[in-house]
A and B are shown apart, each in its own frame.
Chain A
């Protein structure tokens, strides 16, 4: 099947088999390796991408379902060489150890902060509860999301 997906702002057209999962389309057809394959069973969230702005687990969706829709991967977060405030906060707060969960965590955080710009710590912990950090580095991930919330509210002032 021929599909056209807007990926990080650019329209990409590809021929894919209906059974190809979105994560394999992103990684193998488009060559964007920021979406990782972890559990492969809809549990860990390392394959998370934004579909029309909302986080989805790309191991649990077919690429053909994304036809005509818009996807953002971690590669699309920075603009003109400037890190997204969420990325900057993960950097400054040491919100990653091995980095495997980081793309999913940051994309979830971005969508979450757009909906809830001033969250409590508990709200942050629930928001990232579909994403596992196998280093158990949650403390700094939460700090990074809190810092990102502050940075984003500064920017919008």
Chain B
């Protein structure tokens, strides 16, 4: 299979890339890791007339904590996230999800920010970002805006990124000093999309939950933030009863469809079990 014809641009600077996007708008598509875009183009689900390959732009591949948040550049590969010391030690939800993204060869190419822009409701990173209250930094020739992830993910394969904007970076707030988190994913085999995925994050102070994040993968038209479950946890002390209550509320927030991976009822129950399991695992391995 091969895609339909396109004009290829490989700008050497961010300014050139933004100028191309400003000029071509909807006709242009940004190519980063290509692990979602190229398959779509080969299957002719997408046929962008212009490709803007950002891989030759320097400075977009850094992972760093700066100004109260973790910054993940547009060209940071999943491989780099998996091997990042700062993520392993300070962002356990991301660290748990990274080795479960697709397969190891795809992770060498695929990017974190690209996955967010693809906005696949079965994508794992959207749920992780919802649990962590992350945001996406969009830049255009007109300027920059920071879009909270809940506003960024708009629908299946749809984000609120404008056609003239490039997602240059994702940001994740500093987790504080007492925190825990994990990502659990039910998949039939390596590289398959999630039947269900669950991202959890807890920040605590002296045993009391000060912040809770729960994101759900593959059980709705977008990744879902289980807001009621989060609210139930905040202010409480992690106990079996509280975990069961949060898990029940998270399952209520899920809106799964029956498909080859399982029935809607089954998936909703997996959400309940995985949220409980994830919260127990997180509570058992806090970083303080």
Contact = CB atoms under 8 A, between A and B. Distances in A.
Contacts of A1: 8
Contacts of B191: 43, 129-130
Given A18-B7, A129-B190, A60 B103 contact: no
A48 interface: yes
Contacts of A40: 1, 42
B4 interface: yes
A45 B102 CA distance: 12
Given A41-B39, A56-B109, A130 B3 contact: no
Interface stretch (A19-27, A80-88, A136-144): A19-27
B104 interface: yes
Interface in A9-51: 17-21, 24, 40-43, 45, 48, 51
Interface of A: 1, 17-21, 24, 40-43, 45, 48, 51, 54-57, 59-62, 64-65, 67, 108, 126-127, 129-131
Given A129-B190, A129-B191, A130-B190, A42 B5 contact: no
Nearest to B41: A19
A64 B6 CA distance: 12
Given A54-B108, A57-B106, A129-B104, A17 B5 contact: yes
A87 B21 CA distance: 46
Contact of A64 (B2, B10, B38, B105): B10
Interface of B: 1-8, 10, 31, 34-35, 38-39, 42-43, 51, 53, 55, 79, 99, 102-106, 108-109, 190-191
B103 A45 contact: yes
Given A18-B51, A48-B105, A54-B108, A60 B7 contact: no
Given A21-B42, A129-B191, 19 more contacts: A18-B6, A19-B3, A19-B6, A41-B39, A42-B35, A43-B191, A45-B103, A54-B108, A57-B105, A60-B38, A61-B109, A62-B8, A62-B34, A62-B38, A64-B10, A65-B34, A129-B190, A130-B103, A131-B105
Contact of B53 (A21, A41, A65, A126): A65
A155 to B, nearest CB: 25
A55 to B, nearest CB: 5
A124 B73 CA distance: 30
B156 to A, nearest CB: 20
Contact of A126 (B5, B51, B104): B104
In order of increasing CB-CB distance, the 8 nearest A-B pairs are A130-B103, A18-B8, A130-B105, A129-B190, A55-B105, A54-B108, A60-B38, A19-B3
Contacts of A54: 79, 108
Contacts of B39: 41-42, 60
A30 B8 CA distance: 22
A56 B105 contact: yes
A130 to B, nearest CB: 3
B5 A60 contact: no
Nearest to B107: A130
Contacts of A51: 108
19 contacts: A18-B6, A19-B2, A19-B4, A19-B6, A42-B38, A43-B191, A45-B103, A54-B108, A55-B105, A60-B35, A61-B109, A62-B38, A64-B10, A64-B53, A65-B10, A65-B55, A126-B104, A129-B104, A130-B106
